[in-house]
């Protein structure tokens, strides 16, 4: 049932033209539909939803009129929570918060990441616990749909109180300050808003804090990371099957009975996909009795990531569908709740775990690649997978340098698995004395994913080259249909290497193809069984 649900999520996400925010849960795939595939956002067309948003803003105004103390509304921020703000300055306070947090550094988030962040923030505010007006939700929706993208620096968040500094750039775009990207051009926010007929938002009390004091940056990045990691697990299965063919390895290592005896769901899933790719392949007594661990134990390595993805999805989507600022304004019970929902611990731990699982995929593929290029272990393939024949074979070195580079990328990915979540630092006058570092964990995870995609690109070219060489030089059957089709698709990015050439742009093109996740791979056990039945 879990696998069927996962597939349904993916198929629905790919077909969406818009997603509905408000009065419902939003999935990772819906965030990605906006961030990666051009879908728009619609606020739920339900009277009760809009009425709840408006009641929250009304109740906050009532609190202020009664003289109640509400953190960040008529008090200072953070350690200054005991500082009372004079009534005449309450309306000016949100703008101060937005401006003094404009101190982000580092590279800027790309358009996909920026959109994912904006959708995550909108969905959290739409829960109706933030005391914001409908006008704010509507304007944030307009910025998303018009692709008015705040220029958000990636660095500067400790992950509690939420993503204050990076989210200040979202708030700034809404009020017409700083710079935004629109239609590929970097321009002043106020100029773009005027051109589109969108009046800059005048922040009401708490609205600056509501926009900024949440986990939307780490959560948006986590959505992107989840999709890329999910695809890499399936690609690693496909490449393991190709490696098995190239090395003349044993399909029996993926026998279903082995994985029924050790019933981890993800491990069995990975083995079933590899088994489907090798369907019809017959082992012989001439083969090595047992293949080396990087081939034989591939489902056990990939399966860890597959199983982790299930609970990581749960935690990402719970965070995505939460009210994660402070204080919360409860319009039903008419109370103000001062708490710590901005703490990004679940995303931090999930991203730390995911980057470990993904880096292990890089290591697995790097080890398989090392076997393929080494003529002491590749069972008769040319040294370094060189396709050159005749006299010039002596001066050709094939995939020698590619394997060296893949090892460098793998080493860097493994180095980055140090968990960010254990590096809490006491900040802001020891008010924020325990913080999540969730955004750093998410950024690290994305970097590990990029490095692993580069390793996967190298391994893709090498496995296709190796199988082509095996077919050329040995009397082996044509690989099963799924593998043959994958090899043909890969060849559109990199032709057979018969004479040494620079492969940088072959690798870049293949890595981009992998990151886009467009090559058809198995998505559940049923699809693997269907493929196996055709062979």
Collect all residues with Cβ–Cβ distance below 8 Å to 218 and sequence separation of at least 6: 157, 159, 163, 344, 347, 348, 351, 436, 438, 439, 441, 442
Residue 100 among the catalytic residues: no
End-to-end CA distance of the chain: 26
Helix (H) or strand (E) holding 144: helix 134-145
Choosing from 59, 71, 77, 343, the catalytic residue is 71
Instruction: Pull the structure tokens for residue 248.
Output: 């003349």
Scan for tokens 């609205």, then name that residue.
207
The Cα-based distances of 442 to 107, 109, 360, 414, 437 in angstroms read 14, 12, 17, 15, 9
Q: Quick check: 237 and 302 in contact, CB under 8 A? A: yes
Question: What is d(CA 501, CA 42) in angstroms, rounded to the nearest whole number?
Answer: 50
Measuring CA to CA, which residue among 71, 360, 420, 371 is closest to residue 236? 360
Task: Note the helical H segments in 162-202.
Answer: 164-174, 189-196
Q: Quick check: 303 and 357 in contact, CB under 8 A? A: no
Scan for tokens 């409908």, then name that residue.
134
Measuring CA to CA, which residue among 186, 165, 164, 189 is closest to residue 176? 189
Scan for tokens 């350690």, then name that residue.
79
Instruction: Pull the structure tokens for residue 162.
Output: 């939420």
**Helices H, strands E: what count in the chain?**
20, 9
E strands, 22-97, are 40-43
CA 486, 491, 494, 499 torsion-angle sign: positive
Q: Quick check: 410 and 459 in contact, CB under 8 A? A: no
Instruction: Pull the structure tokens for residue 260.
Output: 């029924």
Phi-psi region of 162 (alpha: psi -120 to 50; beta: other; left: phi over 0): left
Kindly list the catalytic residues. Answer: 71
């Amino acid at each position: 049932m879990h696998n069927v649900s996962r597939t349904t999520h993916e198929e629905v996400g790919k077909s969406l033209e818009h997603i509905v925010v408000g009065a419902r849960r939003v999935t990772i795939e819906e965030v990605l539909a906006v961030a990666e595939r051009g879908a728009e956002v619609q606020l739920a067309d339900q009277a009760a939803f809009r009425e709840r948003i408006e009641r929250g803003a009304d109740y906050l105004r009532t609190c202020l009129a009664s003289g109640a103390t509400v953190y960040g509304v008529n008090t200072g921020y953070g350690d200054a929570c005991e500082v009372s703000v004079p009534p005449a300055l309450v309306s000016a306070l949100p703008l101060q918060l937005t401006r003094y947090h404009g101190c982000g550094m580092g590279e800027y988030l790309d358009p996909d990441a920026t959109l994912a962040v904006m959708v995550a923030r909108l969905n959290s505010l739409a829960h109706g616990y933030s005391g914001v007006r409908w006008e704010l939700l509507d304007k944030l929706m307009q910025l998303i749909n018009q692709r008015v993208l705040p220029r958000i620096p990636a660095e500067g968040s400790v992950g509690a109180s939420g993503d204050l500094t990076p989210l200040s750039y979202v708030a700034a775009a809404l009020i017409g300050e700083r710079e935004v990207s629109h239609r590929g051009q970097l321009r002043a926010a106020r100029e773009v808003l005027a051109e589109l007929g969108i009046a800059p938002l005048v922040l009401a009390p708490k609205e600056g804090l509501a926009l900024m004091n949440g986990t939307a940056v780490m959560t948006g990045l986590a959505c992107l990371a989840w999709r890329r990691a999910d695809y890499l697990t399936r690609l690693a299965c496909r490449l393991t099957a190709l490696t098995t063919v190239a090395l003349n390895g044993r399909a029996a290592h993926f026998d279903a009975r082995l994985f029924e005896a050790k019933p981890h769901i993800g491990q069995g899933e990975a083995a079933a996909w590899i088994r489907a790719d090798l369907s019809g392949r017959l082992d012989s007594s001439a083969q090595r009795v047992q293949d080396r661990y990087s081939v034989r134990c591939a489902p056990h390595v990939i399966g860890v990531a597959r199983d982790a993805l299930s609970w990581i999805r749960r935690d990402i989507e719970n965070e995505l569908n939460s009210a994660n600022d402070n204080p919360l304004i409860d319009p039903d019970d008419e109370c103000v709740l001062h708490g710590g929902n901005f703490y990004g611990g679940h995303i931090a731990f999930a991203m730390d775990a995911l980057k470990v699982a993904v880096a292990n995929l890089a290591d697995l593929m790097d080890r398989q690649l090392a076997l393929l290029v080494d003529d002491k272990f590749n069972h008769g393939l040319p040294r370094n997978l060189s396709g050159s024949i005749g006299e010039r074979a002596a001066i050709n070195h094939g995939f020698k340098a590619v394997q060296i580079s893949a090892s460098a990328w793998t080493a860097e990915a493994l180095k980055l698995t140090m968990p960010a979540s254990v590096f809490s630092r006491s900040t802001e006058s020891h008010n924020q004395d325990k913080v999540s570092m969730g955004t750093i964990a998410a950024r690290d995870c994305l970097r590990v994913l990029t490095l692993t995609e580069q390793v996967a690109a190298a391994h893709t070219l090498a496995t296709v080259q190796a199988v082509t060489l095996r077919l050329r030089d040995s009397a082996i059957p044509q690989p099963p249909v799924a593998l043959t089709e994958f090899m043909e698709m890969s060849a559109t990015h990199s032709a057979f290497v018969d004479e040494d050439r620079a492969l940088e742009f072959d690798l870049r093109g293949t890595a981009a193809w992998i990151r886009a996740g467009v090559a058809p791979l198995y998505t559940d056990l049923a699809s693997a069984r269907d493929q196996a039945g055709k062979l």
